[in-house]
Amino acid sequence: MDDFLLFDRVSKRFDQDWAVRELTLAICQGEVFSLLGPSGCGKTTLLRICAGFEQPDSGRVLLQGRDITALPPHKRPVNTVFQNYALFPHLTLRQNVAFGLKLEKLPRRDIDRQVEAMLELVQLREQGDKKPHQISGGQKQRVAIARALVKRPKVLLLDEPLAALDLKLRKRMLIELDEIHDEVGTTFVYVTHDQSEAMSLSDRLAVMNDGQIEQVGTPVEVYEAPESSFTAAFIGDTNFFEGRVVAQEGDYCRLAIEGLGEVWCYNDRGRRQGELVYLSVRPEKMRLSRQPLELGRNRFSGRVEDKVYLGGESRFWVRVGEYRLAVAVQHSRYLLDQQPLQWGEEVALGWHEDDGYMLQRYAEEHEALLSLPPEDEA
């Protein structure tokens, strides 16, 4: 089914501010769908509208074609994993998981069986008689998931479920979440501001900004082919160029970029001569070398202005014309390399013409989302 869960022109305002604005979004059955965006972009509001905790000012929410907009939370076939887990502190883990089933008035034996199966799934059977304050954050997380999943929801809503955990635990829980999803096959709607979580977990994701959706797609589409400057800058990091099409040649076009020179780019949008375009080139697509590069037609020479060692990679800021370009370089033999690139060195810089991507929408304010290069040392 294509629109298992459908938000149809949903709007919600708090006082004067739009939290969600005329938003339409379709989520497929069984997929892990992420709502990704900075805080205040409306992603949590959208989730709360789906759970029934907020009523939209206008628009509808449809689940399997049924309008659930007016249903109160307790009647919706969706369940939520809350950011702070919201486990009931006066109940044991087992009672927490059984809470929802007891309300369904199921026979006691069925409840026990389902609770045990769910605790087994999240590997907490031995801890079942503990109270929430006696277990760790990651375990609480798993109880919260079990408590929601035992209700067999049509959609499981996860509101920044890993935000309170430390990095290592977060990574492990991501894998566990993925395994749980494989096991139960429920549709997951996952809200996060962390792009790496969204990228690694989701089948598809929506990038949200200012109450609206910037782009919907698979992680690969969103990262490799960002439609807007917001998506390009919010997910990962990038270099923006502003230029005009001066020539077309087969699938490629030549851009004149003021302050840099001429650049070739794959023209998948059929841009015509004279059109203004914005180009995004990700730092890891750039090549840096002391020797002249054997790489396509986008070749420049520049000077290393700054360099930051980040462990997995090094980040260089290279002055080329009026531009200061971010370049990510993965290293090998770092300690044995006799001559790592140094500040002030002249280097050759370039990228493959397929690696630049022309944006459909550009706004200068989104450049603020880029990781800032260190200040110039005069």
Distance in Å, CB of 295 to another protein, minimum = 47
Residue from 36, 37, 59, 79 that binds another protein (CB under 8 A)? 79
Binding residues among 26-45 for another protein as defined by CB under 8 A: 39
Other C-beta atoms within 10 Å of 337: how many?
A: 10
Round to the nearest angstrom and report the end-to-end CA distance of the chain: 60
Phi, psi of 208 (to 5 degrees): -110, 145
* Helix, strand, or coil (residue 320): strand
Minimum distance, C-beta of residue 135 to another protein, in the bound complex (Å): 12
Q: Is 104 in the site for another protein (CB under 8 A)?
A: yes
By CB under 8 A, is residue 285 in contact with another protein?
Answer: no
Nearer to another protein, 104 or 365 (CB): 104
Stretch that binds another protein, among 75-83, 220-228, 252-260, 302-310 (CB under 8 A): 75-83
From the list 74, 109, 168, 333, which residue makes contact with another protein (rule: CB under 8 A)?
Answer: 74
Q: Is 18 in the site for another protein (CB under 8 A)?
A: no
Report how far residue 232's alpha carbon sits from residue 272's, in angstroms, rounded to the nearest whole number: 23
Using CB under 8 A as the binding rule, whether residue 170 contacts another protein is answered as no
Pick 85 or 234: Cβ nearer another protein: 85
323 part of the interface to another protein, by CB under 8 A: no
Q: Which of 14, 53, 334, 343 binds another protein (CB under 8 A)?
A: 53
- Give Cα separations from 160 to 57, 203, 243 (angstroms): 24, 17, 39
Strands 356-359 and 346-351: unpaired
Q: How far is the CB of 80 from another protein (least distance, A)?
A: 5
Placement of tokens 């807007």 in the chain: 228
Does the protein bind another protein through residue 51 (CB under 8 A)? yes
Question: What amino acid is encoded at 213 in this protein?
Answer: I
Q: CB of 343 within 8 A of CB of 306?
A: yes
CA 128 to chain centre: 34
The distance between the two most distant Cα atoms of the chain, rounded to a whole number of Å, is 76
Closest distance of CB 101 from another protein, Å: 9
Q: In the complex with another protein, which residue's Cβ is closer, 130 or 361?
A: 130
Q: Which is nearer to another protein, 154 or 297 (CB)?
A: 154
Q: Look up tokens 């990704």; give the residue.
A: 36
Decide whether 98 or 253 has the Cβ nearer to another protein: 98
Which whole-number Å values give the CA distances from 223 to 188, 231, 232, 263, 306, in the listed order?
21, 8, 7, 21, 26
Which stretches of the chain bind another protein, using CB under 8 A? 39, 51-53, 72-75, 79-80, 82-90, 99-100, 103-104, 131-133, 147-148, 151, 164
